[in-house]
Amino acid sequence: MPEGVLIITGGGRGIGAATALLGASRGLSVCIAYRSNAGAAESVVQKITQGGGKALAVAADISRDEEIVRLFESVDSALGPLTGLVNNAGIIERQMRVEEMDGQRLSRVFATNVFGSFICAREATRRMSTRLGGKGGAIVNVSSAASRLGSPNEYVDYAAAKAAIDTFTVGLAKEVAADGIRVNAVRPGVIYTDIHARAGEPNRVDRVKSSVPMQRGGNAEEVAAAILWLLSAEASYVTGAILDVAGGR
């Protein structure tokens, strides 16, 4: 996919920002969707435009259907026909055991991590499906190694949400394969991003990296490279795949 239009949810920081910068460097026009940190998103846009690329930032709460619809309509107007979606936006709550969790926390976690990804994929499919008049495209969902490991004593709810994303990836891939859309996922392991600080343990990667066979945490650029490969024509016969980017963990 050397040219095209890409939406990245949660694109202002971490893996999303790294993906936006790498995608733009390869000729993609990029929409960076963000929930609240306009400064971070605009900073990524500025880096892209200063390098000669095309990008815009759009505020959108991925837990709200109407804001997702507005996001996609904004991209239709500003950048043109969509060719790719990276479902990267995700939230994590403070570490705790399941016995301590309440329903409001669970609603927040699943609304963004699962329901938002479904609605974004719905809007992308409506635009890209050859059966519906589109020209095809690719979707990459950002899962987590937590979906395999369960994250006991920390955030089983987040792990369960990401397990739902794994199943969603496989099912949607089969559903739209004949419509010219490939759907895959990356499953990052422990990566140096600020998500750990939001969970209450900013140094978590350094604490657990000894359990990783490669004996280190990963960086956002390593995950971004995997995402861009799955979006590209080099992965033209790959759909329904879940690619672990987790140092062997």
55-93 pLDDT, tens digit per residue, is: 999 999 999 999 999 999 999 999 999 999 999 999 999
Token representation of residue 204: 């978590």
Instruction: Report the mean per-residue pLDDT for the chain.
Output: 95
Instruction: Give me the pLDDT at residue 194, please.
Output: 81
Query: What predicted TM-score, i.e. pTM, was given to this entire model?
Result: 0.95
Query: Active-site residue 158, yes or no?
Result: yes
What token pair was written down for 197? 């600080």
Give the per-residue pLDDT at 44.
Answer: 97
Complete DSSP assignment for 204-215: HHHHHGGGSTTS
* Extended beta strands in 79-121, E state: 84-87
| Residue 45 pLDDT exceeds 90 | yes
Q: What is the pLDDT of residue 212?
A: 94
Strand partners, 191: 218
Beta strands in the chain (DSSP E): 4-9, 28-34, 55-59, 84-87, 137-142, 181-188, 242-245
What pLDDT does 2 receive? 47
List domains and CATH numbers for the chain. 4-245 (3.40.50.720)
The catalytically annotated residue of 155, 158, 192, 237 is 158
Q: Looking at this protein, which amino acid is placed at residue 76?
A: D
User: What is the model's pLDDT at position 1?
Assistant: 40
Q: What is the pLDDT of residues 155-178, one digit of tens each?
A: 999 999 999 999 999 999 999 999
Residue 85, Cβ neighbours under 10 Å: how many? Answer: 31
pLDDT tens digits, 92-142: 999 999 999 999 999 999 999 999 999 999 999 999 999 999 999 999 999
In the chain, how long is the greatest CA-to-CA distance?
A: 51
